[in-house]
Every structure is written in structure tokens, then in C-alpha cells.
Chain A
């Protein structure tokens, strides 16, 4: 099996790479410190297995999985055992390794991965783009299919390099587009760009503290230049 390693910690990548070296049937092709670089790699290359850290800044392991339309086998690696239940929601996840990873536990995970039938290779990352908005709906192009997103359910849009991450009540979508592009498609009565990297749904704000807003579990920075516009939108007592 060919594998890639995605982890923001150099130590974690070094340990997993060392463990891979000890297994003759496993070849570590590349290591990535973040999910965005891995997405770019998988646009051009294939892997049978991904070692994926969950807790990474900006773009979590689960956000990354959502971008894969036909994910390969994935072994999650994390310091936090509390994500195990969420991991079961994904068929592609074959095992869950809690750091520090031991050699024995790693070997067991590889055996599981080898025993699991191949259900697809990470070849087709969602090549999405913001297409059009109609009434309450926004359509995004995912692998030549137009997927409808209910606009009011969007609570946050975040710029991620060449991509944007659209977060809704039900699901997250990674779209190959820009914040400027989607801003034009969203009604400015509900949505506000509060920072160069964030557009928020103002109706979903839970609280505001100094220069940040809390939406769901996301703490979003508010730039000084946008703060006055945000305050105008609020029904202040």
C-alpha cells in the first residue's frame, strides 16, 4: 500500500514515517503539515491509505475528509480519544490511533487496513466552484454535479488558500473558489464579511467579545474596519 501522512507536528510525522519504514508492504509517499497541501497533492496523485491527524489549525482532519468524493482508507491519528464516535460516521476510516502511537497498535491498524476491501482511491477531490444562487439556494459544482446548499443554513464561509470552506448546519463543503466570488452570491441582509478570511451569517451569532464573534463552536476574528458595520447590524438593547 502507498500512503501519505498529514499532521501539523513534525514529531508525529517522523514517528509515523519511521513506523511505516518497519512494514515492508507499506510505502510512505509524502508527508504534509496541513490538509490543503495534501489536497493539492491528491489532485495529481493517488494513495491507498492516509494517516490523518484530526486536530490541525484552520482545516481539521474531518474537514479534509469532506473534500474527498471517493476517499481511500484513512487511519486517524490524534491525541484526543473524544473524536472516536465521530470517526464511526465515515466508512473510509479503518482505524483510530491515539498518540503516542505504539508499534504494536500501529501494526494492528495496518492489518485492519489491509483486510479492508479497497473502496476507492483518492483520485477525485471535489473540484467544486460556486455556480449560482437562486432564491434561498446556492449551487456548487461537485464533480460535474450541481449540489444545492440552503443559503440560510450557511453559518460561516472561510477562505482556505485557493479554496473556501462553506459550513452549514448539516455539512461542510470545500469549494474551489474565492471569498469575493461567494460574497456576491450571498444576500448582504444576512451575511457580512467580518474579516478578510471570513464571511458570517449574522443571525447565527451566539455572542460577541471584543474583536471576535462566536458562531456555533467557531471563534471568528472581526477586523477593526468591519466591526462598526457588524454593530450596525445588531439589534442592540
Chain B
């Protein structure tokens, strides 16, 4: 399975460690909050709102270097906009993968 990594963040920082840490801190703070809002909405079958949440989470997926997972998120967002939850399981595995990775930082 594709693993999260810091290659994108490092390419952005140009060696600026303070910036890398700042970005990691932002993600560590925001990701659990955004994930919780997503779960609330998807469990309440509020699929339009859940699609907005996935849209926001997508950027964090890409920041953590998850190229294939990003495509899953794109498909899932579109599915939610069309009122169905296909790809939900795959998407939530990605969220767990990210959660585990962020704990190691």
C-alpha cells in the first residue's frame, strides 16, 4: 500500500526546517478535525457536505505524497456529489493510513 511521506513538504521548504515543522503542525492539528467533520457528515448521509470535506482532505492527501490515494479521493468526492458512497471504504483506509503516519512525526 502507498505510504505517506514528507517528500512534497521537503521540496517546498528548500531546507527550511522551521517551515517543514510549521506545515506538519498545521496538518496534525487540522487533519483530525476535518476527519471528524467528514465522518459526521457521511454517517448522517449529508453527502454534499461530506464531498466538501473530502475536497478539503484531498489537499492534505497530496501534501503527504499520496498520489494514488489522491485519485481515490477524487473519485469518492465525485461519487458523493452524485449521492453515492462508492469508494468510501478505500477512502477511509487512506484516512487511517494518514492518521497512523502523523502519529509518527
Contacts and interface: CB of A to CB of B under 8 A. Distances in A.
A11 interface: yes
A204 interface: no
Interface in A1-35: 8-12, 14-15, 18-19, 22
A148 to B, nearest CB: 34
B52 interface: yes
A11 B12 contact: no
Contact of B59 (A79, A103, A219): A79
A135 interface: no
A8 B55 CA distance: 12
Contacts of B55: 55, 79-80
Contact of A9 (B11, B14, B59): B59
Interface residues of B, number: 21
B26 A99 contact: no
B23 A11 contact: yes
A158 B27 CA distance: 32
Interface in B1-50: 8, 11-14, 16, 19, 22-23, 26-27, 30, 48
Q: How big is chain A's contact interface, by range?
A: 10 to 19
A15 B20 CA distance: 10
B14 A100 contact: no
Nearest to B20: A18
Nearest to A217: B81
A111 B19 CA distance: 24
Nearest to B62: A100
A100 B48 CA distance: 23
Contacts of A8: 56
Given A11-B27, A57-B52, A18 B62 contact: no
7 closest A-B pairs (Cβ-Cβ)?
A100-B62, A10-B26, A79-B58, A11-B26, A18-B19, A99-B59, A79-B59
Interface of A: 8-12, 14-15, 18-19, 22, 55, 57, 79-80, 99-100, 102-103, 219
Given A11-B27, A79-B62, A99-B59, 12 more contacts: A9-B59, A10-B26, A11-B59, A11-B60, A14-B19, A15-B12, A15-B63, A79-B59, A100-B59, A102-B11, A103-B12, A103-B14
